[in-house]
Structure 1
Amino acid sequence: MFDHYPQWAREFAQKYLSRTINQFILHGNVYDLVPLKRKKKSEFVRLKSFLSEEFFGARDFVIFYDRSSGIYFRDEQSRKDFNQALSGRDSLLGTDYANKLPKDPVRVFSLLEQYFRVRIDSKKSIALIIDYAETIVPMNEAGSTGSEDRTSMVYLSRWAHDPMFLAADFTTVLITENLADLNKTLVQNPYTDDIRMDIPDQQQREAFISHELPGEQFAELSSVPKRVVAQQTAGLNFVNLRSILFNARENKEKITHHRLSEAKKELIESEAYGLLEFIETEYSLDSVAGHAKVKEHLRFAVQALKNGRQDVMPMGYLVCGPVGTGKTFLVTCFASEIGIPMVKLKNFRSQWQGVTEGNLEKILGLLKAMAPVAVMIDEADAYLGDRDAGGDSGVSSRVFSQIATFMSDTRHRGRILWFLMTARPDLMPVDLKRQGRAEEHLALFAPHTREERLELFEVMKKKTGLKMTETYVPPVIEEGSKSFSGADMEAALTRAKFRAAAQGKEEVSPDVLDTALSDFLPPTYPEEIELQTLSAVIECTSRELLPERYREMDREEILNKIEELKLRVG
């Protein structure tokens, strides 16, 4: 009966037909088009059009409401009937609502309830669709809820469990993008059900492309096959996809891999309110100096994913090590080599009540739709918070719970790769580091052997674009008389280029390089660096991935040393 409906609408219909619930919350991808499969062709319509003309097409009256537009109707018949009922009320009470309807929720709901009761007595069927529901019953702590919000909650709750409304052919639909933006009392009400509308999958996107550019039109406007376009636009909804196709059609700009990639990044970053940032690099793991065992391990992961073996991948990685060892660079190079997009989570926290959870809900929904995707979280010990965090009305603990639950969903194994990076893994809650979340713990360390120092020097020469007047290896690098992390080496070589430029030279001479390396004094925090190093050693989940000098160290001794260092550095 509902086979031509999308999955969420079939779920909605089944719950409605159970006749036990008459109030529903639609959330997620609510401002997109709704796909409908007809016998001969597919159609794509706006959600409110779908609800009023298709889903509730047989209802006698379909009424819409939002704070900006006030009350409006599906058709002229519904409007006339409502105005007729209001005229009778106006004549009794001396009001003039028939000529000028209110827009505030309290007066609107009062009018609607009186109207509903009269029409339900007449055996009429009614659907009320409330858009931007988060502006009517927003997320608030119980003590800070305003009188208008509380009154609106009373009306909605009464319509959801009043036997008169339950027995009638009456339905209330609340539309919101993020479920977390709504008052939790309403969301958790046993008489209310929520239904998530997901971002279109690849098959639906391909059908939409065929609908928008039928026949030979697509081939004329794209140098990329239709199937590939549908595949590479993961994370975009129909409206986003339409803008790409419209641009190609109107501006006669062919769809290429590059244009598609740029448009997708721009649209997704916009959809995520700027809370997601795509990370790109021209480097691969070959550009990473040292860390030979870790690179070998990651290349096995690359091969597994390219062979379709998502089942052997960890749910996530914890990448730890002292500052300057190249954690962020390593992860970015890995994503480049595997050929999937990598995004970095930006600050989604807000001072406003409920906004933080709503932002995170939006981000996690996009990540699910974009899969496969890699997610980078830098300074994860500070970014993700803790289950026991306090002082912010429970926001941090709820955020932590949302992320932890999403990370442990095994359906995302091999499809959403989490990379949590930190120099202090000891400060991260065990809940995120345990097996089933960030399962694989990789530790990075500063170069120790001559081969590692030489490799780091050569890689950083290439990265900084340093040109030498002759082939030369500085003694300080050869002999290891001074320790350089990757960040230290990059900074020192950049200073050598600066000295050469001050002399009006493009190339760096051995004397200038030696002087720059000898003069360079990296900020020195020996106890902090030792604490970060030992924390990485104790955190690593593979003995094989540790440098030889750390493999046989007594772990009890390391733990005691870590506790001692923590006391000394405060």
Structure 2
Amino acid sequence: MFDHYPKWAQEFAQKYLSRTINQFILHGNVHDLVPLQKKEGTDFVRLKSFLSEEFFGARDYVVFYDRSSGIYFRDKETQKDFNRALAGRDSLVGTDYANKLPKDPVRVFSLLEQYFRVRIDNKKSIALIVDYAETIVPMNEAGSTATEDRNALVYLSRWAHDPMFLAADFTTALITENLADLNKTLVQNPYTNEIKINIPEQEQREQFISHELPAEEFKEVSEVSEKVVAQQTAGLNFINIRSILSNAQQNKEKITHDRLSEAKKELIEAEAYGLLEFVETDYSLDDVAGHTKVKEHLRHAVSALKAGRQDVLPMGYLVCGAVGTGKTFLVTCFANEVGIPMVKLKNFRSQWQGVTEGNLEKILGLLKAMAPVAVMIDEADAYLGDRDASGDSGVSSRVFSQIATFMSDTRNRGQILWFLMTARPDLMPVDLKRQGRAEEHLALFPPHTDEERVELYEAMKKKTGLKLTEDYVPQVIEQGLKSFSGADMEAALTRAKFRAAAEGKEKVTPEVLDLALNDFLPPTYPEEVELQTLSAVIECTSKELLPERYQEMDRSEILSKIEELKYRIG
């Protein structure tokens, strides 16, 4: 009966027909177009048009409300009927609402309730569509909810379980982008049901492209096929795709792989309110110095992904190691080599009540739609919060719960690859590090052998663009006379370039390089670095990925040393 509806609308219809619920929250991709299958093909319409003209098309009255526009109607007949009822009320009560309708929720809901009850008595069928519902009943702690918000909540809650409304052909549809932005009491009400509208899948995107541009017209504006465009636009909604197609038509700029990738990046970052940032690099794992066994392990993951064996991949990686060991660089290089987009989560926390959870809900929805995708979270011990965090009205614990639940969804295995990076894995909650979330723990260490030190030097020489007057490997590096992490090496070589530039030279002589390396004094925190290194050792989930000097160390002795270092550092 509802086969021509999208999945969410079929679910909506089935739940309403159960006759036990009349209030629904539509959330997610609510500002997009809705695909509607017809005999002549698939049409794409706005959500409110779909609800009023198709889904509730048989209702006698369809009423809309939002704070900005106030009350408005599907058709003139409904408006005339409402105005007649309002005129009668004005004459009885002495108000003048027929000439100037109120827009605030409390007075609007008071008028609508009286109107609905009279029309339900007359056996009329009614649908009320409330847009931007988060502005009517926003997320607030109970003690801080304004009087107007509480009153609006009472009206909506009453309509949801009033026997008269439940027995009638009456439905309230509340529309909001983020479920977390709505008052929890309303969301958790057993008489209210939530329906998620997802970002379109590949098949739907392909249908939309064909709908927007017939095959011949499409060929004129694109160098890649419709199928490829549909694949490459994962994470975008129909309006985003229309924007790409329109830009190609209007500006006579053909769609190419590069332009498509750039447009997708810009649109998704905008869609996520700037809370997601695409990580891009020209480097590959070949440019990572040292960490030979870790690179080999990651390359096996690359092969599995390219072979379509998502089932063998871990849900996520915990990458740990002392500061300067190249955690971020390694992960970035992996993403470039595997050929899937990598995004970095920016600060989604807000001082305003409910906004943090709403931001995170939006981000997680986009990640699911963009799959396959890699997600990088730097300083994960500080970023992700804790289940037991307090002092911020429970925001940190709710954020932790949202992320932990999402990370453990096994349907995302091989689709969303998490990389949590930290120098202090001991500070991270066990819930995030356990199997089923960040399953594979990789530990990175500073170079230890002569070969590793020289490899790091060569890699950093390339990264910094250091030009020497002759091939030269400094003795201080070759013989290990001074210890350099990757970050230390990069800083020291940059100083050598600075010295040469001060002398008006582009190339660095061996003498200047030796001077810079011998002069360089990295900030020294030996106990902190040792603590970070031993924490990485104890955290690593694969013995063969550890350097030989750590493989046979007694774990109980390492744990004792870690506790001693923590006590000494304070």
Q: Which bin holds the TM-score, normalised by the shorter protein?
A: over 0.9
Deviation of 1:39 (Å): 1.5
How many percent of aligned residue pairs carry the same amino acid?
A: 85
CA distance in 1, matches of 2:180, 2:296: 42
| DSSP-derived class of the 1:199 partner | coil
Which residues of structure 1 form unaligned runs of 5+?
none
Give the secondary-structure state (helix, strand or coil) at the position aligned to 1:216: helix
**Residue in 1 that maps onto 2:491:** 491
CA offset digits 1:382-412 (Å, max 9, x no partner): 0001000001111100100000000000000
Tell me how far 1:41 sits from its aligned partner: 1.2
Residue aligning to 1:458: 458
Measure how far apart 1:40 and its partner are: 1.9
Q: TM-score normalised to the size of structure 1?
A: 1.00
Correspondence 1:17-36 to 2 at 5 A: 17-36=17-36
Q: Which residue of 2 aligns with 1:87?
A: 87
**Aligned pair 1:557/2:557, yes or no?**
yes
Give the counterpart letter for 1:145 in structure 2.
Answer: T
Counterpart residue type for residue 462 of structure 1: K
Q: Tell me the CA shift for residue 104 of structure 1.
A: 0.2
Deviation of residue 520 (structure 1)?
Answer: 0.4
The residue identity in structure 1 corresponding to 2:309 is R
TM-score for both structures, normalised by structure 2: 1.00
How far does the alpha carbon of each residue in 1:403-441 deviate from its partner, in whole angstroms, 9 at most, with x for none?
000000000000000000000000000000000000000
Superposed CA offset, 1:268-323 (max 9, x none): 00010000000000000000000000000000000000000000000000000000
Letter in 1 for 2:414: G
Aligned to 2:386: 386
- 3-state SS in 1 of match to 2:322: coil
Does 2:478 correspond to 1:469?
A: no
> Secondary structure of 2:103's partner?
coil
Q: Equivalents in 2 of 1:22, 1:497: separation in Å?
A: 71
2:252 maps to what in 1?
Answer: 252
Letter of the structure 1 residue corresponding to residue 402 of structure 2: Q
Equivalent in the alignment of 2:229: 229
Residue deviations 1:518-568 (CA, integer Å, cap 9, x gap): 000000000000000000000000000000010000100000000000011
Distance 1:77 1:441 in 2: 65
**Counterpart residue number, 2:186:** 186
- CA distance in 2 between counterparts of 1:473 and 1:180 reads 57
Q: How does 1:35-434 map to 2 (within 5 A)?
A: 35-434=35-434
SS at match of 1:244: helix
For 2:253 and 2:470, how far apart are their aligned partners in 1? 48
Unaligned runs of 5+ in 2: none
Deviation for aligned residue 1:37: 1.1
SS in 2 for 1:224: coil
Return the letter of the residue paired with 1:268.
I
- C-alpha separation in 2, matches of 1:473 and 1:168: 85
- How far residue 215 of structure 1 moved from its aligned partner, in angstroms, is 2.4
Does the residue aligned with 1:207 lie in a helix, a strand or coil? Answer: helix
Deviation string for 1:201-236 (max 9, x for gaps)?
A: 000000000000112011111001111110010000
Please identify runs of 4+ aligned residues in structure 1 that moved more than 6 A.
none
**Secondary structure, aligned partner of 1:36:** strand
Counterparts of 1:93 and 1:507, CA distance in 2:
90
2 CA distance for matches of 1:244 and 1:215?
16
Aligned residue pairs total 570
What letter corresponds to residue 102 of structure 1 in structure 2? P
Cross-structure match for 2:527 = 527
RMSD: 0.5
CA distance in 1, matches of 2:5, 2:408: 31
2-structure distance, mates of 1:157, 1:495: 67
Matched AA of 1:262:
E
